[in-house]
Structure 1
Amino acid sequence: MFFGGMMGYYYDPTLILVIIGAVISMIASARVNSTYNKYSKVRSMSGMTGAEAAKRLLNSQGLYDIQVRPVSGQLTDHYDPRSKTVNLSDSVYDSTSVAAIGVAAHECGHAMQDNVGYIPLKLRGAIVPVANIGSQAAFPIILLGFFIGGAGSPLVNIGLIFFSIAVMFQLVTLPVEFNASSRAIRLLGEVGILGSEELGHTKKVLGAAALTYVAALAATVLQLARLVFLFGGRRQDD
Structure 2
Amino acid sequence: MGLGTYLIYFALLLIIPIWAQSRVKNTYKKYSKKVTSSFMSGAQVARKILDENGLYDVQIEETRGMLTDHYDPRKKVVRLSSGNFHGQSMAAAAIAAHEVGHAIQDAEEYAFLKFRSALVPAANFGSNTAIFIIIGGFLFNQMNLVLLGIIFMAAAVLFQLVTLPVEFNASSRAMTQLVTTGIIQNNEERETKKVLDAAALTYVAAALVAVAELIRFVLMYVASNE
With the shorter chain as reference, the TM-score category is: over 0.9
The size of the alignment, in residue pairs, is 226
What do the CA deviations read for 1:62-87 (whole angstroms, capped 9, x no partner)? 00000000010110000000000000
Cα separation, 1, equivalents of 2:9 and 2:120: 25
Q: Which residue identity is paired with 1:156?
A: V
5+ long unaligned stretches in structure 1: 2-9
Aligned-pair distance for 1:208? Answer: 0.8
Q: CA RMSD in A?
A: 1.6
Tell me the equivalent position of 2:13.
Answer: 21
**1:18–1:219 Cα contact (<8 Å) kept:** no
Identity %: 49
Summarize the alignment of residues 140-179 of structure 1 with structure 2, pairs less than 5 Å apart. 140-150=132-142, 153-179=143-169
5+ long unaligned stretches in structure 2: none
SS of residue matched to 2:61: strand
Q: Which residue identity is paired with 2:171?
A: S
Tell me the equivalent position of 1:5.
Answer: none
Query: Is 1:202 matched with 2:187?
Result: no
SS of residue matched to 2:68: coil
Q: 2:100 aligns with which of 92, 98, 108?
A: 108
Aligned-pair distance for 1:226? Answer: 2.2
Cα separation, 1, equivalents of 2:223 and 2:152: 17
Aligned-pair distance for 1:15? Answer: 4.4
Aligned-pair distance for 1:229? Answer: 3.1
Tell me the equivalent position of 2:209.
Answer: 219
**1:18–1:222 Cα contact (<8 Å) kept:** no
Cα separation, 2, equivalents of 1:224 and 1:14: 15
Summarize the alignment of residues 90-105 of structure 1 with structure 2, pairs less than 5 Å apart. 90-105=82-97
SS of residue matched to 1:79: strand
**1:120–1:176 Cα contact (<8 Å) kept:** yes
TM-score (normalizing by structure 1)? 0.90
**1:14–1:229 Cα contact (<8 Å) kept:** no
Cα separation, 1, equivalents of 2:80 and 2:201: 20
Aligned-pair distance for 1:139? Answer: 1.2
Q: 2:67 aligns with which of 75, 78, 103?
A: 75
Larger Cα-atom Rg: 1
Tell me the equivalent position of 2:218.
Answer: 228
TM-score (normalizing by structure 2)? 0.95
Aligned-pair distance for 1:12? Answer: 7.3
Cα separation, 2, equivalents of 1:132 and 1:15: 28
What do the CA deviations read for 1:107-166 (whole angstroms, capped 9, x no partner)? 00000000000000000001111101011111111122222234xx20000001111111
Cα separation, 2, equivalents of 1:12 and 1:228: 20
**1:86–1:111 Cα contact (<8 Å) kept:** yes
What do the CA deviations read for 1:156-181 (whole angstroms, capped 9, x no partner)? 00001111111111110000000000
Tell me the equivalent position of 2:79.
Answer: 87
Q: Which has the higher helix share?
A: 2
